[in-house]
Amino acid sequence: MIAEIEMKQFSLSIDQTEILKNINLALPKNQITAIIGPSGCGKSTLLRSINRMNDLTEGLSYSGTILVDGKNIFEPGVDVTEIRREIGMIAQTPNPLPMSIYDNVIYGPKIHGLKDKQQKDEIVRRSLERVGLWEEVEDRLSAPANKLSIGQQQRLCLARTIANNPKILLCDETTSALDPISAKKIEEELRDLKNEYTILFVTHILRQAKRIADYVVFIYLGEIIEHGPAEQIFQNPADPRTKQYIDGIL
C-alpha cells in the first residue's frame, strides 16, 4: 500500500478539551477512505486537520505530525494556502461563492496566479465536464451560482475544488444535504475520480460507506478504534465496538 497521508501521534484539543486522541493512521493513495463513527466523535475535526482548516478555530492546540506525500504539513514556514490548494475540501452543504458559475470554478486557479484567459476557459470546461455539469450550464456560465439547484451547486463545488488541481479530496458528509438522486451522482463522480485523487469521505451513513469505500476508518470518542480495507471492517471487524456500530447498536 502506498500511503498518501500519514498521521503520527496526532492529538488535537480545542479549549483544553481533547477532540482527537493519539491518532496513528496511514491512508492509501488513489482510494476512497470512508471515515465513519457517531456524531461528535471527531470525524470532521480529523478531516479538517489535514488541510489545516482547523487553524481558523479559536483555542486550538495540537501535537504530533501529519505527513502528506511525506511532507509534514505543520512544519514551520510551510505555505498553508498551498496545502489547501493541494488538499481540496467539499463541505457538507454546498457553499458556492457570491459570483458567477465561471468565476466560482476559476476562483482557485485565479488566486493562485493563473491569468491566461484561454487556459482559464479550458480549466472551467474540463472541471465542469469532470463532474458532469458542463452540459447543464454550458450556455449560462456567467449566471450567478446561486441560481443552480442544490445538487448542481454541490457538483459545482466539486468542480471548483478539482479546478485547483489538488492531490487529495476531503469530503465532509458531502451528500448529506442532497436529495438521493443528486447524492448518487456525487458518489458516482467520486468513484470516477479516485483514479486521480486520494479521497477521504466522512459519513455517518453506513450504507453509503459500504457503497463507495475501499478503506474504512472507524472513530469513536476521538480515538481510532479500527481501520482497514472495507470488506474486512464490514464483514469481519476485530473490535467489538466496530461490530456494534455496524450492527447499529452503539
Partner 1 sequence: MNRRKAEEQIVKGLMGVAIAIVIGSLILVFGMVLVKGAGALNLDMITKVPEGGYYLGKGGGILNAIVGSLYLAGGAILLATVISIPISWYLNQDAGKSRFAECVRTSLDVACGIPSLVYGVFIFLIMVVIHQRTALIWGIITVAIFIIPILVRAMDEVMQTVSRDLKEASYGLGATDFETLRYVITRQAMPGIVAAILLAFGRGIGDAAAVLFTAGYTDSIPTSLFDPVATLPLAIFFQISSPYPEVQQRAYASGIILLVIVLVLIILSRFVSRRLMKYVIR
Rule CB under 8 A: which residues touch partner 1? Answer: 51, 53, 56, 58, 80-85, 88-89, 91, 93, 95-100, 107-108, 111-112, 144-146, 157, 160-161, 164
If the CB atoms of residues 22 and 100 are measured against partner 1, the closer one turns out to be 100
Looking up cell 496545502 gives: 83
Q: Smallest gap, in angstroms, from Cβ of residue 142 to partner 1?
A: 10
Report the C-alpha dihedral over residues 246, 225, 59, 57, rounded to 10 degrees.
-50
Cβ distance to partner 1 smaller for residue 155 or 160: 160
User: Which has the closest alpha carbon to 156: 178, 140, 133, 179?
Assistant: 133
What is the closest distance, in whole angstroms, from the C-beta atom of residue 163 to partner 1 in the complex? 9
Pair type for strands 3-14 and 60-68: antiparallel
CA distances from 13 to 21, 42, 54, 56 (A): 9, 11, 11, 14
**Which is closer to partner 1, CB of 74 or CB of 229?**
74
- Whichever of 145 and 178 has its CB closer to partner 1, that residue is 145
**Backbone phi, psi, residue 208, to 5°:** -65, -45
Residue 75 C-beta: closest distance to partner 1, Å: 17
* Strand pairing class (223-229; 215-220): antiparallel
Q: What letter represents residue 108's amino acid?
A: G
C-alpha grid cell for residue 132? 458532469
Contact in structure between 193 and 161 (CB atoms under 8 Å):
no
Smallest distance, partner 1 to C-beta of residue 143, A: 9
CB of 148 to partner 1, least distance (A): 11
When the beta carbons of 64 and 144 are compared against partner 1, the nearer one is 144
